[in-house]
Structure formats: C-alpha cells, structure tokens
Amino acid sequence: MRKSLLIIFIALVGVITSCQESVEHTAPAIHDRDSVAVMTSYGVNTLVSDSGVIKYRIVTERWEVNQNRHPSRWIFDKGLFLEQFDEKFHVQAYIQCDTAYYFDQQHLWELRSRVRILTKDGLRFASEQLFWDESKHELYSYVFSRLVTPERTLQGSYFRSDERMTHYIVTNTKGSFQSEDFEGGATSGSDGAQAVQDSSLLQQRSKALPQRNVSQ
C-alpha cells in the first residue's frame, strides 16, 4: 500500500513539474504578402493583345505577374525579347534587355541593362535603361544612349522618341552627321527620322558637338 502511494506521489510530482516547464510551440509570424506572385511562368513564348489587337510577342525564360506589389507589375528578371507590331500585325521593331518591368496599371515598361532595339528601317538603339509609355506612345531615357541609322550616329544622355522610332530627340549629344543635316535647322534623313535640339532643354544641357565618324 505504501509502495503504491509512493508511486502515485512521484507521478503527480512529475506531472506538476512538466506543466511548469512546458514550452509553448508557436509558428512564426505571417508577414505581408507583398512579395507573393500571382503567376510565375517559365519558357514563355506568347502573343500579347489589347482590345483584340495584337501588340507584341514576348519571349522570356521567366515571367512573374505580381499584383501584390505597389504598384503591381510584371517582372522579367531572366531577360526579355519583344517583337513590336503595328495595327496590321507587321513587325515594327525587335527589343531585348536583361531585365524588364511592366507596370500594368500605368501601362509603362521599364527596360534595364543592355537594352537593344532594331527597327524595320534599320535604326539601332543601345542604352542601359529605357522607358516605354504605352499611353503616350513614346520612349524615353535619362541615361547615355546611342542611335545608329544608315545616315548618322547620335549619342547623348537624354533621349525621347515616338514608339515607332521615326521621330526622336537627343540632347547633350555628340556624333556624326551628313552635311545637309545643318541646312534648314532640324536634321532629317531619308528614313524620315528627325533629331532636333529641344530649346527648353538646351539651357540645362551642353550643346551638341558634331564629330567625324572614323568608320565612314
């Protein structure tokens, strides 16, 4: 009898001690879902349309759609290749870069690192950053950019153009020009492109300095 009471007493002491020393097991706190993607696709080759009109082809290794970020965006962090189309589905330009963001609510593209463009008229564009505003139908960059056409070469730290790259502005520039470019003010070429100095920006940027193109 005494042995049974002793066993019961030891068991009760053990239960009381274990309750006092118990550790509460809790899961880590749930953080903001800002980085959670709605969709992530790999090996993408697809056409993108707006209001039934095909606008461009996207080719990329990784495409992330993230509507939880502010602002919401598409993310292409493994490189991007775009074919840009006109209303009749004719290719207007090829665009590629190392990283791209598309802010779907603003209809704004931001292309970064080794941005390259080749248009159907043979114009080549190179920069480290380029913005494409689909609402305003224009391209612009605030970093060093280089344009090469069959008639001229331009490079400067400010660039703005229509999205078809047929009319553009380059300031704080240097490059090579045809002699007829200096007749009648604004420069123009057989491809219909214009490279003009924006008078409102000339007060803030240095004048263009034409240089001999040693490759010619």
Mean pLDDT per 10-residue interval, the chain, length 216 residues:
53 53 55 70 91 89 92 95 89 95 95 96 96 95 94 92 91 62 40 38 42 48
Q: What is the pLDDT of residue 207?
A: 41
DSSP assignment letter at 26: -
Position 193 scores a pLDDT of 38
Q: What pLDDT, on a 0 to 100 scale, did the predictor assign at position 109?
A: 96
pTM of the predicted protein model: 0.65
Contact 166, 143 (CB under 8 A): no
Q: Cα angle at 172 between 150 and 211, to 5 degrees?
A: 50
C-alpha closest to that of 197 among 169, 178, 160: 169
pLDDT of residue 50: 77
Distance between CA atoms of residues 166 and 151, nearest Å = 13
Closest among 111, 165, 167 to 142, alpha carbons compared: 111
Task: Return the closest-CA partner of residue 63 out of 28, 33, 94, 38.
Answer: 38
Buried b (16+ CB within 10 A) or exposed e, 183-194: eeeebbbebebe
Peptide bond into 210 cis (omega under 30): no
* CA proximity to 152, closest of 180, 118, 117: 180
pLDDT for 202 equals: 37
Q: Let me know: does 77 contact 99? Beta carbons within 8 Å.
A: yes
